[in-house]
Structure 1
């Protein structure tokens, strides 16, 4: 039955291949998005922008909260894995 199903599903091979590639791209994007070292580097750049006067305190607080949420989500994901 395995060979028969493979022959019948052969026309769908490009779709299955595309889905696999899409899954790989999403997994890599999530890995980079939640990478703790990348988030910490962004936090450092954000603090530099605040000290240089490029952003105000309110913007800094908002962006810092978002980055800290990502860092916490990263730690949660690593603990669950």
Structure 2
């Protein structure tokens, strides 16, 4: 067992890094924040309706991906 301890330790670290990266990737908060900023940009006439619609569509699609992932993981969607 002892010779494999370093390998198991590295495996544990890799699992934690992957888990942290997934948690960040599937966090809806930054996407929701981006939607708020997008709305503000439109309200302040910094972007036109076409640009708003395209970007909003992308962000809503991303939120849907996050929701599906959360449901597949057995968690509640945070949306």
Range of TM-score over shorter length: 0.5 to 0.7
- How many residue pairs match? The answer is 73
Greater C-alpha Rg: 1
Instruction: Say whether 1:58 aligns with 2:73.
Output: no
Q: Which runs of 5+ in 2 are unaligned?
A: 74-79
Task: Output the aligned Cα RMSD.
Answer: 2.6
Deviation per CA, 1:12-44, whole angstroms, max 9, x where unpaired?
x8xxx6xx9888666645533431111111100
Contact kept? 1:35, 1:74, Cα under 8 Å? yes
For normalisation by structure 2, the TM-score amounts to: 0.65
Task: Give unpaired runs (5+ residues) of structure 1.
Answer: 8-12
What is the alpha-carbon distance in structure 1 between the residues aligned to residue 46 and residue 14 of structure 2?
Answer: 37
TM-score by length of 1: 0.63
SS at match of 2:65: helix
Tell me, yes or no, if the aligned pair for 1:43 and 1:67 is still in contact at 8 Å.
yes
